[in-house]
Structure 1
């Protein structure tokens, strides 16, 4: 029988080997015994007694009884879970810290706990370790932190109607520098823009899987993958890398700052692909003709539907006076991206976060998956708790499966859009669970207690967000890549 199989003390706390070791040391010292004396009394070498007192070995029940007899105490006295003194409590805490994963990650040698080490010094070390734990916890970007940061960022974007004048001006200045006037931005001009900013482009087959691109600031290089995903726009990958440089982004100090940088780089890249100078007149003319369409914006600038939908939200409220909402939803109804300034009621969790929540089955973002015609845009009116909304949705396919991209607005503004004459209409009462989240009573009574599903867990359900300044980036793999491709100095 070992210590782990013993009964806990009356207060339910099980003493560990460190606490028992310190109690044995205190009792030995109080009785004026040396390590040799106690070793002789229990039939063990002094070195073995020292190992026990330092909490580096668990004791069996028979050994504990021998120590108790030699020290003239009961077994219960020896198994008292409370530290024998304040000094012992500090030493135990320091030993535990030094045996933990955080201390091991620092690469520091263990600090011997000697009498010459003052209580104040131990308290300082413990305080520093506690602060390191706090910082690492924050930078680990738990799902809760990520959701809070996303919620705050979405609120800030709503206040400015998802329009960033300073980024629009930056895009206009960059396009002027390479002589772009109107129409789609060619890959040749993207290369010229990179050269204008002091970078050469390098398409490589071995880019680390955890990154979309890499900027080598020392050698003025941008590395991008040689083969792109079918759903990826090779221009946007380069433009996002250039946008981070133009905006002077440094290493983010928090997850919130990381998200802000992503929003800014994505915005600037989209403003370069779909310049306001060409897009706004097109949209104004379409509104006057009551023919607004995300598809027309997509086709005019040669971008994918999601980029066009995002860009529409940047310009619609500021230049057309139309409040809108945007959704990106997978085939199960889970939201990955969302924005609104038209008072549509998105599902949220207790933190106010939208991402990861499930959209009502009767919204167009879900209904579009049941439509056989994937070529034509899907339009729908939905009566929701905050009013009636018109929405247009389209299915896109990516390496991660199918998802729908939707842009909508309130009924009063539907008159400006092509597709407003649709007769497709649904009613959504969500977040009322009786809408679509709770089965009808007769179905529940039929199957409750008579079925047991095996859930398919989301791969990220139990996983914390990746640690590091840039979540998800494998720094070792990244630096190995840069070393391989770095030009000879």
Structure 2
């Protein structure tokens, strides 16, 4: 079925060629055996003509049928008219209750350009307005639920990544910077390390000159540059377009992160490693991490991709700050993650009894901490590793239901805790004794988190300063 936009374009092309032939509607109608009024409906995009009639029209106008059926507007003026009609037919303009403007001959080219420009700006502002905190959290929650239903596994990206890694000549060991560079070259890009990347961008791809700009290779934690480069390449490999919504932006971020993880820990070798460890009842995130030269967090997240689909195990993953705030989370094993009224988990506080928080109190943090935790949803075993960044301390936890703990190193731990959360009496509500003692005798000065008041960043790519990015590209393209 022909779309409304396609019918409108066809109508404009017929009118264009009819005008070039100096034919009236009635004259062309007489030549093809229909009335002028019927042709008018076709030219206005209100009626879909049969192929036989289009063949006759093309012959009468002296053009090839393929040229008549082209989807390109016949002129700049026609393109503007079509864009205006399309914008006025949309829900955004309709919601304003304003009359539509018919772009007839009485509308000058300048006025038409102004009207189209206003509609473009209206759409841009509406798109930015969609990126409210509530909308972003809702989109993120929907994406998390979708991935949970998929067991956090995307087989198409797994296959694409494996092909790319093999094509670059890599088969064993950790993926090197050199191999990542080869992968970039195969796509027609060079990796360029610079000191002046805009603060709002992790990397920038110059599509015109075939360059991917990255931070200096000597920065602390430079191993993360492999992931940054792979993520930048993933946008091209996966065919991403400029996101038109926050949901699409988040989906693309998830996909490029997934692609990078698949390259750094290719499915075939990762599954082989994990299967052998499971067979030996010696699964450990730290071993998985060291075998592929990645971070503890990356190894834990990669395990969520493969554990259910390839090892027949359900599990959970948590990244938690030292104040108990959940930054990232995934579960398909029934662990009762804290949520707000929208179902979002990010920014919620996890139970103080969970290992994700109690691990901060351990003196020895160089190795994983193990713990069993009894919850209202059952008993879970988990391993937790703490770390530190410039923003503060954090913990990474990977866990499974009690019955699957038998496959992991650390299952013999005697550490056990009981959590009654979300019952507030578990760890959130002070005891009656303390409440009575201090409620009327204390007044803490709360720390205001800036993200509470700040709007979500706008722009073509949320959070990226287009002005800085374009100035950066212009500066480097000119060789300055």
TM-score of the superposition, structure 1-length normalised?
A: 0.72
Q: Which one of the candidate residues 306, 309, 313 is aligned to 1:322? A: 313
TM-superposed deviation, 1:417: 0.5
Q: Secondary structure at the match of 1:314?
A: helix
Q: Which one of the candidate residues 178, 185, 207 is aligned to 1:195? A: 185
Confirm whether residue 279 of structure 1 aligns to residue 279 of structure 2: no
- Which residue number in structure 2 is paired with residue 292 of structure 1? 283
Q: Which one of the candidate residues 110, 120, 126 is aligned to 1:136? A: 126
Matching of residues 61-80 of structure 1 within 5 Å? none
- Structure 1's 228 and 352: CA in aligned 2 closer, same or farther, altered over 3 A? farther
Return the alpha-carbon distance in structure 2 between the equivalents of residues 366 and 307 of structure 1: 20
Matching of residues 23-422 of structure 1 within 5 Å? 132=122, 136=126, 139=129, 141-226=131-216, 229-231=219-221, 233-422=224-413
- Which residue number in structure 2 is paired with residue 471 of structure 1? 462
Mapped contact 1:140–1:464 kept (Cα < 8 A): no
Mapped contact 2:315–2:331 kept (Cα < 8 A): yes
Return the alpha-carbon distance in structure 1 between the equivalents of residues 141 and 148 of structure 2: 11
Return the alpha-carbon distance in structure 2 between the equivalents of residues 421 and 391 of structure 1: 12
Mapped contact 1:140–1:466 kept (Cα < 8 A): no
- Which residue number in structure 2 is paired with residue 448 of structure 1? 439
Aligned-residue CA RMSD in angstroms?
Answer: 2.0
Query: How many residues are treated as equivalent by the alignment?
Result: 364
Return the alpha-carbon distance in structure 1 between the equivalents of residues 157 and 449 of structure 2: 36
- Structure 1's 130 and 192: CA in aligned 2 closer, same or farther, altered over 3 A? closer
Mapped contact 2:249–2:461 kept (Cα < 8 A): yes
Return the alpha-carbon distance in structure 1 between the equivalents of residues 353 and 367 of structure 2: 19
Partner deviation per Cα, 1:33-57 (whole Å, 9 max, x = no partner) = xxxxxxxxxxxxxxxxxxxxxxxxx
Q: Secondary structure at the match of 1:383?
A: strand
TM-score of the superposition, structure 2-length normalised?
A: 0.73
Partner deviation per Cα, 1:319-358 (whole Å, 9 max, x = no partner) = 1100011111111111111111111110000000000111
TM-superposed deviation, 1:469: 2.6
Structure 1: gaps (5+ residues): 1-124
Mapped contact 1:390–1:408 kept (Cα < 8 A): yes
Indicate the structure (1 or 2) with the bigger Cα radius of gyration. Answer: 1
Return the alpha-carbon distance in structure 2 between the equivalents of residues 462 and 130 of structure 1: 28
Structure 2: gaps (5+ residues): 1-114
- Which residue number in structure 2 is paired with residue 99 of structure 1? none
Mapped contact 1:395–1:404 kept (Cα < 8 A): yes
Q: Secondary structure at the match of 1:449?
A: helix
Partner deviation per Cα, 1:419-466 (whole Å, 9 max, x = no partner) = 011111111111111011100000000001211111111121111111
Q: Secondary structure at the match of 2:398?
A: strand
Mapped contact 1:205–1:227 kept (Cα < 8 A): no
Mapped contact 1:252–1:470 kept (Cα < 8 A): yes
TM-superposed deviation, 1:227: 5.3
- Structure 1's 139 and 242: CA in aligned 2 closer, same or farther, altered over 3 A? farther
TM-superposed deviation, 1:177: 0.9
Partner deviation per Cα, 1:15-45 (whole Å, 9 max, x = no partner) = xxxxxxxxxxxxxxxxxxxxxxxxxxxxxxx
Mapped contact 2:325–2:348 kept (Cα < 8 A): yes
Confirm whether residue 425 of structure 1 aligns to residue 403 of structure 2: no
TM-superposed deviation, 1:222: 0.3
Q: Secondary structure at the match of 1:448?
A: helix
Return the alpha-carbon distance in structure 2 between the equivalents of residues 436 and 472 of structure 1: 36
Q: Secondary structure at the match of 1:432?
A: coil
Q: Secondary structure at the match of 1:328?
A: strand
Partner deviation per Cα, 1:166-207 (whole Å, 9 max, x = no partner) = 011001110111111121001111111110111011100100
- Which residue number in structure 2 is paired with residue 72 of structure 1? none
